[in-house]
Amino acid sequence: MGSTTSCCVSGSPKLRRNAHSRLEPYHQESDLSREETACNLQHISDRENIDELNMEYNPSDHPRASTIFLSKSHNDGEQPVFLNGIFLSLRRKYSSCSTIFLDDNTVSQPNLKYTIKCVTLAIYYHIKNRDTNGGMLLDIFDEKLHPLSKSEVPLDYNQHDPEQKQIYRFVRTLFSAAQLTAECAIVTLVYLERLLTYAEIDICPGNWKRIVLGAILLASKVWDDQAVWNVDYCQILKDITVEDMNELERQFLELLQFNINVPSSVYAKYYFDLRSLSESNNLSFPLEPLSREKAQKLEAISRLCDDKYKDIRRAARKRSASMDNLCGRRWVPAILS
């Protein structure tokens, strides 16, 4: 996952169509001179300069492109963090000389509970602030055509936006039953935004469950060493068949153009953008005072890192002293008065 290149990486179909649509059809005219016809031909640098467009439209592929969920959250003025209808006003804790507050959430070991909350909040903003014109709808994600339960799907299933708590319960149930990690939740969000970009679709109340399920299914197989099989999800969602899960996975991969590569820089960008989303929505990660046991653990880790890079620093100091043979060291006695 740390590689920034992949043989499967390819641009969005929308970008390729836009790029080729810029080419004017060329018909050779015998009556026109070479100088007159050359102005109608597009330069090769203009035809192949598609990377800049990919930087803008594919945040799941490029670390410098801003994430879609963060931009959608900035367009929304409301903050959906509620508890029994009462807005949560969380007090921020500050460290002092006697007490140091730390959280157990890092980019290499995210907190599972709060990472799932942030990911579901990002999905909530995707659904709420989706394109009003509506993108292309695919049957494989339609909950009316492929229901996840035997209960009857209401007629207005595609008209009412789900609450953030409903999305959180759905994702938390899958992660708890399948014992997935917090890193898998971040990769799930990467695949979700890559699907929306590549396939040119919008996530809406009628397809969000199957889109999220397909992203979790694929992320668990790519990230975890011991992946959950499709038949295991059929035991979590009792009314879904293995054939439906297989078809969902197959079409999800085809819409991603089999690009399942997630560079480490893209993963880190999504992690820190999720932290920014949590802070802007008063969903702060829990802070705990630094205990004696945790301080000793941090000191042990620091000592291991110091021993690991000691030889590197010693070699760097030796390379910097390249003038020793020309100018020898002279010791000057100090006079103490």
What gap in Å lies between CA 61 and CA 51, rounded to an integer?
A: 11
What gap in Å lies between CA 95 and CA 77, rounded to an integer?
A: 31
Range in 38-42, 67-71, 300-304 with the lowest mean pLDDT: 38-42
Predicted local distance difference test score (pLDDT) of residue 278: 87
The residue behind tokens 């010693």 is 314
Could you tell me if residue 78 is left (phi over 0), alpha (psi between -120 and 50 degrees) or otherwise beta? beta
pLDDT at residue 296 is higher than 90 = no
Predicted local distance difference test score (pLDDT) of residue 317: 61
Task: State both tokens at 100.
Answer: 């140091």
Place 295 in a pLDDT band, splitting at 50, 70 and 90: confident
Predicted local distance difference test score (pLDDT) of residue 49: 43
Task: State both tokens at 44.
Answer: 């090769």
Q: Which pTM does this prediction carry?
A: 0.68
Predicted local distance difference test score (pLDDT) of residue 130: 87
Predicted local distance difference test score (pLDDT) of residue 269: 95
> Which of 58, 60, 7 lies closest to 219 in space, CA to CA?
60
- Higher pLDDT among residues 153 and 3, named by residue: 153
- Higher pLDDT among residues 169 and 9, named by residue: 169
pLDDT at residue 97 is higher than 50 = yes
Predicted local distance difference test score (pLDDT) of residue 119: 95
pLDDT at residue 310 is higher than 70 = yes
Is residue 142 classed exposed, middle or buried when 0-12, 13-18 and 19+ CB atoms within 10 A define those classes?
middle
Computed over every residue of the chain, the mean pLDDT equals 76
Three-state DSSP at 261 gives coil
Mean pLDDT on 45-73: 69
Predicted local distance difference test score (pLDDT) of residue 116: 94
Place 152 in a pLDDT band, splitting at 50, 70 and 90: confident
> Which of 15, 14, 124, 115 lies closest to 78 in space, CA to CA?
124
Three-state DSSP at 5 gives coil
Residue-wise pLDDT tens digits, 235-261: 899 889 999 999 999 999 999 999 999
> Which of 229, 218, 248 lies closest to 148 in space, CA to CA?
248
Task: State both tokens at 301.
Answer: 């880790």
Q: How far is CA 143 from CA 90, 151, 234, 244, in A?
A: 37, 12, 16, 12
Contacts of 23 (CB under 8 A, 6+ apart): 42, 47
Max avg pLDDT among 9-23, 140-154, 299-313 = 140-154
What gap in Å lies between CA 135 and CA 199, rounded to an integer?
A: 9
- Higher pLDDT among residues 213 and 297, named by residue: 213
Helix (H) or strand (E) holding 201: none
pLDDT at residue 99 is higher than 60 = yes
State the CB neighbour count (10 A cutoff) for residue 208. 24
Predicted local distance difference test score (pLDDT) of residue 59: 87
Residue-wise pLDDT tens digits, 17-28: 344 333 344 444
Place 85 in a pLDDT band, splitting at 50, 70 and 90: very low
Q: What fold does the segment set 67-77+111-281 form as a domain? A: Cyclin A; domain 1 (1.10.472)
- Annotated domain spans of the chain: 67-77+111-281
Place 306 in a pLDDT band, splitting at 50, 70 and 90: confident
Which ranges constitute the DSSP H helices of the chain?
13-21, 34-38, 44-47, 51-57, 68-74, 112-128, 164-178, 182-198, 208-223, 230-236, 242-255, 264-280, 292-308, 310-320
Contacts of 332 (CB under 8 A, 6+ apart): none
Residue-wise pLDDT tens digits, 225-236: 777 889 989 989
The residue behind tokens 């390249």 is 322
State the CB neighbour count (10 A cutoff) for residue 131. 10
Task: State both tokens at 329.
Answer: 């060291």
Predicted local distance difference test score (pLDDT) of residue 271: 94
Mean pLDDT on 149-163: 86
